[in-house]
Structure 1
Amino acid sequence: MAKFVAKRIEELHSKTQADIAREAGFKNANFITMIKTGSAKLPLDRVQDFAKALDTDPRSLMHLAIEQTYGPKMLAVLVELLGEPLTENERAWIDLVRTASNGTDPFPSTTARKALHVLLDDRA
């Protein structure tokens, strides 16, 4: 968590830590420094606001926050039970499949898999 937050803040040239703290709803910008150094844990209920302030994916940040708070074993249990979080792009693909199939939950046939591989391999 600490390394990710420090790197992300460094990448955000247009925002100060005070800006990020304010956008995330933290009263004190020093709390951002404490998260960056690993001396404070990001409260799980603040992940969404903090992710928005950092302009990053809230699902990935939640993974880091859970690992930071409860450890890698608990994160592994949650991932096993709930699955990996989806990126915004993955969610868009799922929405596309649901719309195209009229919500019928189609099985990914061999033909569909091959077509998808061709489509995605050819996009580069």
Structure 2
Amino acid sequence: MYLDRRIAKLKPAKTQSQIAADPEIPNPNMVAMIKTGASKLALDCVPSMARALKLEPAYLMHMAIEGLIAGNVAQEGIAVFGTLVIENETTWLEALREVSNETDPRLTARAWKLLFAVAVR
């Protein structure tokens, strides 16, 4: 699960107990309950959980909505809002628009390879 991976990634700097003890997390048991699947992340807790986990709030909100709403309804909601674009991706899009003079360039195979080389480092 994504939350498990995120907690593991933060582990050198912040343990699960430290995350759960964050003053912005309303219930210290919430992290464990969400991680084990005993509970779902409430939408009103997304901003505080995102800060505690050092995540993009929009991304965590998207995941929380998917977790709360089942099946076709979730997919229809996601279709209405479109592809989620997080903060760093927005910066990339703005740069692409600037360097292309707003020409809406097509993603060619060559451009894909260049982008991959830059993004993967």
Q: Give the TM-score normalised by structure 1.
A: 0.71
Unaligned runs of 5+ in 2: none
Distance 1:8 1:109, change over 3 A: closer
Question: For residues 54-65 of structure 1, what are the structure 2 equivalents within 5 Å?
Answer: 54-65=53-64
RMSD value, Cα: 2.8
> Which residue identity does 2:9 align to in structure 1?
E
Q: Which residue in the other structure is 1:81 paired with?
A: 80
1:120 matches 2:115: yes
Question: For residues 42-121 of structure 1, what are the structure 2 equivalents within 5 Å?
Answer: 42-97=41-96, 106-109=102-105, 113=107, 116-117=111-112, 119-120=114-115
Q: Which residue in the other structure is 1:41 paired with?
A: 40
Task: Name segments (4+ residues, structure 1) moved above 4 Å.
Answer: 97-102, 113-119
> Which residue identity does 2:57 align to in structure 1?
P
Structure 1 residue 30 displacement after superposition:
1.5
Unaligned runs of 5+ in 1: none
Q: Give the TM-score normalised by structure 2.
A: 0.73
Inter-partner Cα distance in structure 1 for 2:96 and 2:23: 34
Structure ranking higher on relative contact order (CA contacts 8 Å, 6+ apart): 1
Distance 1:63 1:24, change over 3 A: farther
> Which residue identity does 1:50 align to in structure 2?
M
Structure 1 residue 120 displacement after superposition:
2.2
Tell me the percent identity.
Answer: 34
Structure 1 residue 5 displacement after superposition:
1.4
Note if contact 1:24-1:50 (Cα within 8 Å) is conserved in structure 2: no
